[in-house]
Amino acid sequence: MWWSRRTKPETSSGSQPYQAARPERADKNFAEGSEMAATVQNVDANAAGEQELTDGFHLIIDALKLNGIKTLYAVPGIPITDFLRMSQAEGIRVLSFRHEQNAGYAASIAGYLTKQPGVCITVSAPGFLNGLTALAHATTNCFPMLLISGSSEREVVDLQQGDYEEMDQLAIAKPLCKAAYRILHAADIGIGIARAIRAAVSGRPGGVYLDLPAKLFGQVMDAAAGKKSLVKVIDPAPAQFPAKDSIKRALDVLKSAKRPLIILGKGAAYAQADEAVKAFVEKSGAPFLPMSMAKGLLPDTHPQCAGAARSTVLKDSDVVMMIGARLNWLLSHGKGKNWGDAPKKFIQIDIEPKEMDSNVEIAAPVVGDIGSCMHALLAEMGNWPAPPADWGKAVAAKREENVAKMAPRLMNNNVPMDYHGALGVLRTIVKERPDAILVNEGANTLDLARGIIDVYQPRKRIDVGTWGIMGIGMGYAIAAAVETGKPVLAVEGDSAFGFSGMEVETICRYNLPVCVVIFNNDGIYRGTDVNTASSDPATTVFVKGARYDKMIEAFGGVGVNATSPDELRRAVNAAMDSGKPTLINAVIDPKAGSESGRIGNLNPQSALKKK
């Protein structure tokens, strides 16, 4: 194959000879590099015979493989088309997407699910920008991800002379990610990729940008020197042990509680310290509240789970211990009416010291990785007294009351379906198939599914995350199927789905076991808005009675139109049994939803109204 490894240089090709750059550097590697560079230039002058050579393309591939990267999420184009072909030829799985944002979201969630950086590869300027949203998302959500983008000629870009897809990508990426690097020389590929990987996964994980100018791919160097230049990252995310006195302080505060509460965040799920987290929560005897993506760390049906008594535990608790959860908007910043008037003490466990005191005073900060912190806490707990029984009873009573209130609504068989009828069906299906991965986005579709569908195992629910963004759906579904081999159920608002809908072709092309259920209520929040000012439709409504199921049929997938809970149940079960790419258009009453789902209060209101 023309793109296989070369053993001899092609003097007539577009490949750049290795350039003897940075002669001032005197370290061993570079000394070898210099000699080698001279040799290669001789070779290029056709003076040498059978010297084995390698190039930037293959060094990047070798560096990724050496560090255990098995999958790339990408959209091809100049200057990375051949790179992707070669990656495939060298045994890396390349998932080729329809839009870089979706490839990027896929990479970000691959990072979350595996604790290895998910890798997204894009072309320059526009492809890079499309991927950048996902890189910023990964950083905000603390997912390890690499965005690797090809870029145009540095000399031309820096003089702003108008190159093909000209953009100073490194400068643009920097404020949006945890770290950003550029590699200019083939001999630096090994260390550059190692640095990027370590930056992504160590400490608090995040997104890292790696800029690869087109010229780098074609640079040639001696194969043995190239191999030697590669770096396998040793212990990329070293354990960070908490200070002993911080553990003692945290346990003292927790022990003093009359009404303790533990909040589990997705950082705790990411840590893959599942047994230790479970053992600690159970030994503490405290009710726990899982944030959305921490659901399933302990089953939602666990007797200590306070998910169905959220407002009670936030208001009435006196000590709150956060494990891998942040006091951001999702927890009302730890203050205000949701948290009640009673004084509260916070214990926070996080790998990032800056997280402490971000919104309110943290009485007991514990800085370290979640696994090490959990083990340290367990080791110091001794004979732990159960929290006062009346607190557990009060939480359980509230939970039971709310669950009982909800139960009949979930069993309704209304046509057209409402959210509760449709989600009641999905809740049962997930209970019967606890190892399936649930992807979820939308407004009402998100908020109601989060409350209604119980999750039973860690990292089985992936959703809009810290920013509440639409568009993660199909990228997440694809990566979840690829990385875990498990069936995926994506529960999508019709608007949310639209952000990544074209990737149903990708799902069909790779024949992935993904069942997409679209809650089609004809629009954003509701399908009933009317614009009285002109003949244009209201901004929140879509084509009425749209048939999203037809979309997947265009690519050979299974499409089903489901108008009742029974039809929905049959269609989802068939899809999960067959593993065939399936899209179900679940027809939901356009009147059923509410503005902005559960967060309507965040819509700004004019002060004028209050006059």
Ligand X SMILES: Cc1ncc(C[n+]2csc(CCOP(=O)(O)OP(=O)(O)O)c2C)c(N)n1
Residues that bind ligand X (CB under 6 A): 442-445, 468-471, 493-496, 519, 521, 524-525, 593, 597
CB of 542 within 8 A of CB of 398?
no
Q: Is the peptide bond before 236 cis (omega within 30 degrees of 0)?
A: no
Binding-site size for Mg ion (CB under 5 A) equals 4
Q: Which is nearer to Mg ion, 283 or 598 (CB)?
A: 598
Q: Which does 181 bind (CB under 5 to 8 A by kind): ligand X, Mg ion, none?
A: none
Q: Which does 597 bind (CB under 5 to 8 A by kind): Mg ion, ligand X, none?
A: ligand X
Residue range at the interface with Mg ion (CB under 5 A); choices 256-264, 495-503, 530-538, 563-571? 495-503
Give SS3 for 540.
coil
Q: Which does 444 bind (CB under 5 to 8 A by kind): Mg ion, ligand X, none?
A: ligand X
Residue in this structure with the two tokens 């990508």, named with its chain if needed: 169
Helix (H) or strand (E) holding 346: strand 345-350
Does residue 441 belong to the site contacting Mg ion (CB under 5 A)? no
Residue range at the interface with Mg ion (CB under 5 A); choices 16-24, 247-255, 489-497, 509-517? 489-497
Q: Which is nearer to ligand X, 209 or 519 (CB)?
A: 519
What residues have CB less than 8 Å from 288, skipping those under 6 apart?
A: 261, 262, 263, 264, 281, 298, 302, 304, 305, 306
CB of 588 to ligand X, least distance (A): 7
Going from the C-alpha of 260 to that of each of 310, 315, 363, 404, the distances in angstroms are 13, 11, 14, 25
Does residue 317 belong to the site contacting Mg ion (CB under 5 A)? no
DSSP output for 118-167: EEEEE-SHHHHHHHHHHHHHHHHHT--EEEEEEE--HHHHHTT---TT--
Q: Which does 468 bind (CB under 5 to 8 A by kind): ligand X, Mg ion, none?
A: ligand X
CB of 502 to ligand X, least distance (A): 16
CB of 320 within 8 A of CB of 261?
yes
Q: Which is nearer to ligand X, 151 or 521 (CB)?
A: 521
CB of 469 to ligand X, least distance (A): 4
Distance CA 446, CA 468 (A): 10
Identity of the residue numbered 169: Q
Q: Which does 265 bind (CB under 5 to 8 A by kind): Mg ion, ligand X, none?
A: none
Q: Which is nearer to ligand X, 501 or 597 (CB)?
A: 597
C-alpha 317, offset from chain centre:
31
CB of 570 to ligand X, least distance (A): 22
Q: Is the peptide bond before 416 cis (omega within 30 degrees of 0)?
A: yes
Q: Which is nearer to ligand X, 355 or 522 (CB)?
A: 522
Residues making up the chain, counted from first to last: 611
Q: Which does 290 bind (CB under 5 to 8 A by kind): Mg ion, ligand X, none?
A: none
CB of 430 to Mg ion, least distance (A): 21
435: left (phi over 0), alpha (psi -120 to 50) or beta: alpha
**Apex CA 347: angle with CA 346 and CA 352, to 5°?**
115
CB of 188 to Mg ion, least distance (A): 49
Residue in this structure with the two tokens 């950048």, named with its chain if needed: 132
CB of 521 to Mg ion, least distance (A): 4
CB of 494 to ligand X, least distance (A): 4
Q: Which is nearer to ligand X, 226 or 593 (CB)?
A: 593
Per CB under 5 A, the list member of 493, 557, 559, 565 interacting with Mg ion is: 493
C-alpha 335, offset from chain centre:
28
Q: In what order do the strands lie in the sheet with 514-520?
A: 461-463, 437-441, 488-493, 514-520, 582-587, 558-562
Q: Which is nearer to Mg ion, 309 or 516 (CB)?
A: 516
Find the distance separating the first CA and the last CA of the chain, reported in whole Å: 75
Instruction: Determine the residue with CB nearest ligand X.
Output: 493
Q: Which does 471 bind (CB under 5 to 8 A by kind): ligand X, Mg ion, none?
A: ligand X
Does residue 521 belong to the site contacting Mg ion (CB under 5 A)? yes
CB of 520 to ligand X, least distance (A): 8
Q: Which is nearer to Mg ion, 149 or 521 (CB)?
A: 521
Q: Which is nearer to ligand X, 197 or 449 (CB)?
A: 449
CB of 544 to Mg ion, least distance (A): 12
Give SS3 for 554.
coil
CB of 444 to Mg ion, least distance (A): 7
Q: Which is nearer to ligand X, 30 or 105 (CB)?
A: 105
Residue range at the interface with Mg ion (CB under 5 A); choices 244-252, 271-279, 467-475, 513-521? 513-521
CB of 495 to ligand X, least distance (A): 3
**Three-class HEC string of 245-309:** HHHHHHHHHHHCCCCEEEEECHHHHHCCCHHHHHHHHHHHCCCEEECHHHCCCCCCCCCCECHHH
Per CB under 5 A, the list member of 454, 494, 505, 589 interacting with Mg ion is: 494
Q: Which does 176 bind (CB under 5 to 8 A by kind): ligand X, Mg ion, none?
A: none
| Interface ranges with Mg ion (CB under 5 A) | 493-495, 521
